[in-house]
Structure 1
Amino acid sequence: MSWLLPGALLALGLAQTPLPDNSSPGTGETLVVAPRVPTPLTRTPAAVSVVERGDIQDARPTLGLYESLVGVPGLVVQSRDNASQDLRLSLRGFGARSAFGIRGVTVVVDGFPETLPDGQTNVDSLDLAMVSRIEVLRGLASSLYGNAAGGVVSLTTEDGPERPFVEARTVNGDFGLWKLNVKGGGTSGPVRWLVGASRLERTGWRPQSATRQVQFNGKVGWTPSERAEWTAVLSLVDAPEAEDPGALTREEVEADPRRAAPLNLSARAGEAVRQGRLGLTYRQRLGEAHEVEARGFLSLRRFQNALPGVVVAFDRTFDGVSARYTNRAPLLGRRNRLTLGAEAQSQSDLRKNFDNVEGRPGATRQLDQREDVAGLGLFAQEEWEPREHLTVVAGARYDVSRYAVEDFLKEDGDGTGTRTFQQPTGRLGLIWAPEQRVSLFASFTQSFEAPTTTELALPPGAGGGLSRELRPQRSNGVEFGARGLLGGWLRYDVALFSVWLRDGLVRFEDESTRAYYRNTARSRHLGAEVALEARVTERLRMRAAYNALRATLEDGALRGKKVPGIPTHQASADVVYQHPSGPLAAVEVYSAGGLYADDANTVRVPLAWVVNARLGHRFPLGAFEVSPFLGFQNLFSAPFIDNVRVNAARGRYFEPASPLTLYAGVGLAHRW
């Protein structure tokens, strides 16, 4: 572990991830919801980072999660500039091999899953202008969330405020950026509401990277009594254009990083998405010690993606229900909480692949099948305080997932078939909290990742249906951590962890650059994370974060090689000045790259340092408020790779990041 010390000491010498004052009434304790049940942070046996509304929205263009999460230790964010690939997240190495979107990390919004039963996640329906809080649970969490929970990103959207308001906000920037947000909300008796709409257009830095998107989000809460609460959420998105400029070789990057991949240009690569989602939550307190919660949701998605050689299209239905019971009755005279829950989800895709004729589906079908995934999970968790300041947490979950394919195109053989995965997972943790804002924890956790329907796809010539060879990825981990407050001004969050992983899912590409998967050897992830926040004055805040992660293959021909897509070291820091009268100034710096792009460790992505800055002000004008702002992304035009395509064919690993990007905007709000 000596290789971890220099970076840890460096971070301790600085004044990052905030541990905010989102406190439970009367206790002063910070509550987090990522562990499925609202829990004081000091009694959570896991590393949790929290990002509050000001860091999400103030003087930011609100284009994607990458703006707010660069300072979370252990979290790698990629594909900022390629909307077709969607945002890519990896947490402590989980999700690093994803071909597109998010894999291996569970994402929930207002308690509803964005992660499908097969483990895939897309966040193209998320509007950050409506988000008030983001929590990142940095550790294995399948005993809480089931499949694909190498970590959890939990987002909470704004509730309707007591004082009615309406707000309009526009931002313009380099490379054709324009975004307009309008939102409003209020409270009327037991009903609170908030609605928002946005329109985004961007031509992009590289050719073939334009984006157009329209969104609508609504949230209505009804509290008929002190013990009951209903919440309904609605999300609609229409994104008719999200082009894909593709990845380049190293020689192409060095010659002209702005160019698009030739195959992507000729194929007019890119995707179009329409999606709608409706969710309903009911909570009821039964006396002082009991609570029940029930959720249900329905999501419909139409998707078309033009790739070199193929156009992929599907209509998807994703729905689910869940129920949770919580009992806070004391056990043996000591504080206790028992949670029991069940959830069922289903995903049904009507999928067709066609020849690509200048970006449009041709007459020839390459694939025509129905794909169904059904998942059922049962979980229980016990949290007991056997003595003062000591809490024991034990949890278990059992998941069953069934995959079924009905092949309607049998010219190359009948690919109809089924796969079933069953997996128990557990969790055991100890928390010692000698003071209200100080806690030490140790935990043993597990996770598993069943292959997604995309990962189970067979290469051309192998027929349709699902691979019979691909196995779920399984992980066991131990973690030790500490968090607290020193001297009333310095918050700290330190974690050491080790994860043993087997049957890892490895991405590779064929000559058409389409991605497929295979299982690889065992690997081990050994790491340390430090996050600090110094409240220098009431108006000045400094933060820093550092993490070191050594992820290596344990056996096979690649024994000792580093797992690709995972940086060995990451660091970030920011300084934020905010005056109560309105001025805001912030500067942040973070590392990017410093990883391998292939299993053999022959292709290295160099480390780069990226600097962002933002300025803003709030001017109250009676019942109105005007908020101009200005921002600089990649202030010094550092040349770095925004998206690494692991194990890509023909050396096309690299998607270069845009240089200095300037944006400016203004908001106008009215409150009654």
Structure 2
Amino acid sequence: MPTVVVSATRTERASFDVPAAIDVLDTERIREGQLRINASESLAAVPGLVAQNRQNYAQDLQISSRGFGARSAFGVRGIRLITDGIPASMPDGQGQAATFNLDMADRIEVLRGPFSAIYGNHSGGVIQLFTREGLGRPTLESSASSGSDGTYKVDFSAQGTASGLGYALDSSRFHTDGYRDHSAATREQAHAKLTIRLDSGGKFTLVANGLRQKDTQDPLGATWTTWSRDPRAGEIDNTDTASPKRTLAARYDTRKSIDHQQAGAIWEQALGSGTKLQLSAYAGNRQVIQYQAFSRAFQAPATQSGGVVDFDRDFHGGEARWQREVTLNGGKLTATAGIEYARSVDDRKGYENFNGPAFGVKGRLRRDEDDIVSSVDPYAQVEWRGERWQFIAGLRHSHMRVAVDDRFTSNGDDSGALRYSKTTPLAAVLYRLKPTLNLYASAAEGFEAPTLNELFYSPGGGGFNFGLSPARSKHVEAGLKSVLAHDVRVDAAVFEVRTSGELLVDAASGGRTSYRNAGRTQRKGAELALDAALGAGFSSRVALTSLRATFDNGARLPGVPRANAFAELAWRERAGRWRVALEAIASGKVYAEDSNQERAAPGYGLLNLRLTAAQEAGAWRISEFARLNNLADKQYIGSVIVGDANKRFYEGAPGRHWALGAGAQYRF
């Protein structure tokens, strides 16, 4: 069946006919045989994307698209995150993949390359989650799973339709003791989605999500020596004379608490004559308290902002989109115009990570300010589709304002404001050489303004960094999409990205990172995705990426592997009751800092095995799964902290580890 996507053109299109590098992860890949804790479980199968589980739930996943986002100290930046049409990225471009509810996922679309630019600021790539809608008879479902390192998860959900109202509800709790020392975490999530289809042909959707993580431990990074001695170990605090073997993470009790809620509403209406209107609005709140591995309790108040971050963020936004399709010159012309607005307000405070004789306790106030980020982005896109040719042109103007109202002026007044703006054009063409082979090319300009996190600290330990400029990039891509013998689908792309003013880590220590603008960088690469039905129940998936990302001087961009690969061989019993798959994952070495002088994290190759089963009896459906990861028990570094000033770059990944789970579904 043709795979339908909406991320590139904002209207439903077969992915085969879209002139962009775009992959779709369906429900089976996201849910079957997975714990559904981290998006990296399924994103590993996408070329051009590197999604690493840092084994650190305080800092979230490390995700990069064609090298964009690799330097992020925490969370996801450089990539736009969206859930059900509602932004999961903040107005400054920072996002948290942990807010994705994978238990209710219907599909994930991953858009890379020039088309990402039409989403504006921080669109080196777009990852868009679509959750299930309530359909048909009411269904109740529950699942439970457990695994290595004290990991367990329980989930409850309900979906269906009642009196014309579609509903999908979900609640889950996850806990792990953590693979690395001082890395325990507990996460609670909730999700609700209501849909009403109107007699007028319209549709109204209400989506709400919640995420709560209380005192999630932060294991920090390790030096090469420490990781080589024990991949689980944390770095010893050599200044702690009272407890000479205590780690930095233990001494400062590094941890983060997150309380995040968000709700949004979307109204879609067909107006006749090929015209559609969509309006959306959303609002939310995010509260974070983070204890970092340093304290300025014994230094002059003017020097630093303390080791405890405490902020309360209110955010809201909306979008209006108009679309019309008409017949023109023997083809279809689709015009889209819209405007997006977003705003966040932080009540941000900083404290010493020291009170009296104890660390890990909120001490004296060192920071007190309001941080306001707002953005307004109008855009337009035109697409013409003929029998063989397809042309697309788009334009977006991004305007972002950052304002700081500093109330803690004993260390100087950091009040001020910044404005960034950029108009980003897009052009693409697709030619249908034959019904089973499409060729395409595209080009665009990109725009990546500093996030709040990148603006907070100046080099040398100063305050707000008003000297940072946005990075500007030019993207070109060419590719093909082919179907061979009805059983094999191939997508291939080559690309080049040239960036000026790339934002890079200047210094990173104890959870505080300052940034600077570099000169020019270049990314050249190729991607290949292949899906094949092999017969006798066998199928395969291959995703290959080659990426050369360098500075002007030839040094490699940190955090970006030269190559990475995913391959899967799966077998499915004719009746679908049994499935088994062998996965292979490989990655090239990764440098941890700009000069490439420090030891790179070595490349690695892994094998994973998964087994799933399902049985049906009347209204019941029972399912089970077993998974064994890293079959060869390889010792490897899963991710790096780019530019850490203390050379604690390395984050160890687990050796052989397992997971088991079962679920039950009842349809009324």
TM-score category (smaller protein):
over 0.9
Q: SS at 1:586's partner residue?
A: strand
**Conservation of the 8 A alpha-carbon contact between 1:142 and 1:446:** no
The equivalent position to 1:296 in structure 2, one of 281, 291, 294, is 281
Q: Distance in 2 between matches of 1:389 and 1:534?
A: 26
**Conservation of the 8 A alpha-carbon contact between 1:176 and 1:203:** yes
**Conservation of the 8 A alpha-carbon contact between 2:384 and 2:392:** yes
Q: Distance in 2 between matches of 1:325 and 1:369?
A: 39
Residue aligning to 1:322: 319
The within-5 A match list for 1:467-482 is 467-482=465-480
Query: Post-superposition shift, 1:374?
Result: 0.4
**Conservation of the 8 A alpha-carbon contact between 2:459 and 2:514:** no
Which of 634-643 and 393-402 deviates more? 634-643
Cα distance change, pair 75–65 in 1 and its aligned pair in 2 (3 A):
same
Q: Distance in 2 between matches of 1:359 and 1:333?
A: 72
Q: Give the length in aligned residue pairs.
A: 640
> Is structure 2 residue 566 aligned with structure 1 residue 572?
yes
Residue aligning to 2:659: 663
The within-5 A match list for 1:596-607 is 596-602=591-597, 603-607=599-603
The within-5 A match list for 1:75-94 is 75-94=49-68
- Give TM-score scaled by structure 2 length: 0.93
Cα distance change, pair 647–55 in 1 and its aligned pair in 2 (3 A):
same
Residue aligning to 1:3: none
> Is structure 2 residue 220 aligned with structure 1 residue 246?
yes
After superposition, give the CA deviation of every residue in 1:620-646 in whole Å (9 maximum; x if it has no partner): 122111112111122222111122011
> Is structure 2 residue 91 aligned with structure 1 residue 117?
yes
Residue aligning to 1:384: 384
Query: Post-superposition shift, 1:116?
Result: 1.0
After superposition, give the CA deviation of every residue in 1:303-337 in whole Å (9 maximum; x if it has no partner): 11111120111001111010100010123453100
Residue aligning to 1:4: none
**Conservation of the 8 A alpha-carbon contact between 1:200 and 1:213:** yes
**Conservation of the 8 A alpha-carbon contact between 1:79 and 1:85:** no
Q: Distance in 1 between matches of 2:121 and 2:423?
A: 10
Instruction: Quote the RMSD (CA, aligned, Å).
Output: 1.6
Q: Distance in 1 between matches of 2:472 and 2:433?
A: 35
Residue aligning to 1:259: 233
- Give TM-score scaled by structure 1 length: 0.93
Q: Output the amino acid matched with 1:264.
A: A
**Conservation of the 8 A alpha-carbon contact between 2:459 and 2:507:** no
> Is structure 2 residue 318 aligned with structure 1 residue 344?
no
Residue aligning to 2:241: none
Residue aligning to 1:335: 332
Q: SS at 1:439's partner residue?
A: strand
Query: Post-superposition shift, 1:256?
Result: 1.2
Gaps of 5+ in 1: 1-20, 24-29
Gaps of 5+ in 2: 236-246, 295-306
Q: Output the amino acid matched with 2:365.
A: R
Q: Output the amino acid matched with 1:301.
A: R
Residue aligning to 1:12: none
The equivalent position to 1:617 in structure 2, one of 609, 613, 616, is 613
Q: Distance in 1 between matches of 2:550 and 2:536?
A: 44
Q: Distance in 2 between matches of 1:418 and 1:141?
A: 30
After superposition, give the CA deviation of every residue in 1:199-247 in whole Å (9 maximum; x if it has no partner): 1111011221001111110101000226100000011122113211111
Query: Post-superposition shift, 1:510?
Result: 4.6
Query: Post-superposition shift, 1:458?
Result: 2.2
Q: Output the amino acid matched with 2:654.
A: S
Residue aligning to 1:9: none
Cα distance change, pair 486–333 in 1 and its aligned pair in 2 (3 A):
closer
The equivalent position to 1:173 in structure 2, one of 139, 147, 159, is 147
The equivalent position to 2:581 in structure 1, one of 564, 582, 586, is 586
> Is structure 2 residue 628 aligned with structure 1 residue 628?
no
The within-5 A match list for 1:143-182 is 143-182=117-156
Q: Distance in 2 between matches of 1:165 and 1:614?
A: 27
Q: SS at 1:335's partner residue?
A: strand
Residue aligning to 1:371: 371
Cα distance change, pair 437–316 in 1 and its aligned pair in 2 (3 A):
farther
Q: Distance in 2 between matches of 1:68 and 1:564?
A: 24
> Is structure 2 residue 99 aligned with structure 1 residue 105?
no
After superposition, give the CA deviation of every residue in 1:116-141 in whole Å (9 maximum; x if it has no partner): 11110112222211111011111134
Which of 182-191 and 318-327 deviates more? 182-191
**Conservation of the 8 A alpha-carbon contact between 1:289 and 1:329:** yes
Q: Distance in 2 between matches of 1:436 and 1:179?
A: 46
| Overall identity of the aligned pairs, in % | 32
Q: Distance in 2 between matches of 1:654 and 1:647?
A: 11
Cα distance change, pair 407–216 in 1 and its aligned pair in 2 (3 A):
same
> Is structure 2 residue 520 aligned with structure 1 residue 499?
no
Residue aligning to 2:240: none
Query: Post-superposition shift, 1:612?
Result: 1.5
Query: Post-superposition shift, 1:83?
Result: 0.4
Q: SS at 1:651's partner residue?
A: coil
Q: Output the amino acid matched with 2:564.
A: Q
Query: Post-superposition shift, 1:346?
Result: 0.2
Residue aligning to 1:62: 36
Cα distance change, pair 437–378 in 1 and its aligned pair in 2 (3 A):
farther
Cα distance change, pair 371–240 in 1 and its aligned pair in 2 (3 A):
same
> Is structure 2 residue 202 aligned with structure 1 residue 217?
no
